[in-house]
Amino acid sequence: MPSATDRLSQLLIKNNIIDEKQLAAALERQKESGSSLGKVLLEMGVVRENQLAEVIARELGLEYVDLLEYKINIQATTSIEESTAQRYTCIPIDFDEGRLVVAMADPTNIYALDDIRLSTGYEVKPVVSAREDIVSAIQRYYHLDTDVVEEALEGKEMEETESISGVVDDTPLVRFTTTMIAEAINRGASDIHVDPRENEVLIRYRIDGVCQEVKRVPKNIHQGIVSRIKIISDLNIAERRIPQDGHFGMVSGGKAIDFRVAILPTVYGEKVVMRILDKSSILLRLEDLGFLPQALEKYRNAFLLPHGALLVTGPTGSGKSTSLYATLNVLNTAEKNITTVEDPVEYRLAGINQVQVNPKAGLHFANALRNILRTSPDILMVGEIRDRETAKTAIEAALTGHLVLSTLHTNDAPSALPRLIEMGVESFLVSSAINCVLAQRLVRKLCQNCKVPYEPDPEVLRNLDFPLNGEEDLILYKANENGCAKCSGTGYKGRVGLYEVMPMSDEIQRLTVKEASATIIMNQAIEEGLLTMRDDGYVKAKMGVTSIEEIMRVVAV
């Protein structure tokens, strides 16, 4: 069987890239240096990188890609870390039918292919490119050189803004902004923060509910970044004194993604927050959110009732909307007339009538809800109960044959009942209308690839009221301090809900009518089998899903 050197020699001769004399000289030098034939030919200058790459591609039956001509998909480049690209001399350049297209100098490196597949979750389609072109692309797409950006922004501030406003292609600032957004998507961020400071700008991503600083850039490119974001969000680039809100959309990896943009003037310049709304997340099933079987059964029994109110409580960012959308996905059938009133309508749901509140035009939750009731709905979703009028209208709708879903800001499920009474809804109406209250928080999930088992101190667990149940030798898990490639070094990947499902029993209804405190209602609910969010978290800690530290971070212990 011919060796790799023989095969390469034959291909180079066959394609008239070198002649016999050049080959003989190269083979002689190869014997002296011990280098590969390809490297020797490059050093001799008898072949070019792209010629060698084309021959290798032909030999392996792979596609050759000229990176100087190919329009690289910036979203693809952010799939792997720069260190990985440099280690294997490769760069992701596109997506192809769900596969990640990776340009490689050595596509036979199975270790590189396995590493990229494991770290990205994509199947890899290798293509061959010239080594020097790959190195140049890595420098271009991973090293957004500050000097290059500063050079592009030299001149007056207004000239900077004007130069950006007309650009739709490949300038350093456009490339920087696009890469920043694509990287955030690939890392699973929910928000991008561009935070101006006195002498620099911080770029942060909120990943799994926690802000992480990803880079710092010079202050003098700040306005250019902001202007570029304003342009794609259809905002006024000349206005810097007042807050602005906008939005834009894009497709990444075959998924439609919307961005809600908020710009806030600060003493050091305009702060930008881009909220990333992945439309595929609203297609989640309730079973995928992290409900324990018993809690899910209680919740399902409540929302399948033909009428009454179901409240989801928790702070901002606790996943309330996701739970409600997942619930609506179950209820959404051709036989049901479903209408929502939201502020804002972040996701479009097929088959459901969605109303956007508009305070400037006088359309608030309360009057929108009153008008919706005239359209004979079966199911209503109210984005949030914020005031007495909305609360009374929602409760009355629940009592007149409608199923009403809504959110409320309380710390736990029992507190929702006194909160409605404080808003001015009569206690007997609250007790009659509410079917169930769901309270929730989101915690980070331990990275299943690198989580660390440990034997906790039983005394510490007792102080946390952790149910040991005789398991003195219990094994729990914690985050790996250094993380791994799959979790970007954080030790956590993804989030899961902690839930507290409180159906309205006869006794809880009686306590509500008597306007009992949240503490008394909580004690009664626990007697009836309520699993608190803290205890729900402890079950998930025993399962190895999350850590004790995460539970303590989001739930009062």
The helix/strand count (H/E) of the chain reads as 23, 18
φ, ψ of residue 6 to 5 degrees: the values are -65, -45
Angle at 138 between CA 136 and CA 142, to 5 degrees: 130
Q: Give yes or no for residue 151 having a pLDDT over 60.
A: no
- The model's pTM is 0.70
Give the pLDDT of residue 15.
66
Per-residue pLDDT band at 155 (split at 50, 70, 90): very low
Q: What percent of the chain has pLDDT over 70?
A: 88
Q: What percent of the chain has pLDDT over 90?
A: 44
Give the pLDDT of residue 8.
65
Give the pLDDT of residue 365.
86
Q: pLDDT (tens digit, 9 = 90+) per residue, 285-332?
A: 888 899 999 999 999 999 999 999 999 999 988 889 889 999 999 999
Higher pLDDT pick, 166 / 76: 76
What are the tokens at 398?
């629940």
Give the pLDDT of residue 197.
92
Give the pLDDT of residue 50.
76
Give the pLDDT of residue 161.
37
Q: What is the mean pLDDT of residues 133-140?
A: 83
Q: pLDDT (tens digit, 9 = 90+) per residue, 159-169?
A: 333 333 344 45
Residue 292 DSSP SS3: coil
Q: Regarding beta strands 353-356 and 338-342, do their DSSP bridges make them parallel or antiparallel, or are they unpaired?
A: parallel
DSSP class of residue 213? E
Q: What is the mean pLDDT of residues 396-411?
A: 93
Q: pLDDT (tens digit, 9 = 90+) per residue, 273-296?
A: 999 987 766 667 888 899 999 999
Q: Give yes or no for residue 390 having a pLDDT over 60.
A: yes
Give the pLDDT of residue 281.
63
Give the pLDDT of residue 6.
60
Cβ atoms within 10 A of the Cβ of 155, count?
10
**Counting Cβ atoms within 10 Å, is residue 506 exposed (0-12), middle (13-18) or buried (19+)?**
exposed
Q: pLDDT (tens digit, 9 = 90+) per residue, 195-241?
A: 999 988 999 999 888 888 888 888 888 988 999 999 999 999 989 99
Place of tokens 């909120």: 206
Give the pLDDT of residue 5.
59
Q: What is the mean pLDDT of residues 342-362?
A: 85
Q: With helix as H, strand as E and coil as C, how does 336-404 read?
A: CCEEEEECCCCCCCCCCEEEECEHHHCECHHHHHHHHHHHCCCEEEECCCCCHHHHHHHHHHHHCCCEE
**Of 437-451, 452-466, 511-525, minimum mean pLDDT range:** 452-466
Q: What is the mean pLDDT of residues 254-259?
A: 82
Higher pLDDT pick, 524 / 483: 524
Give the pLDDT of residue 327.
94
Q: What is the mean pLDDT of residues 400-425?
A: 94
Q: pLDDT (tens digit, 9 = 90+) per residue, 5-60?
A: 566 666 677 666 777 777 777 777 777 776 666 677 766 776 777 777 887 788 78
Give the pLDDT of residue 27.
78
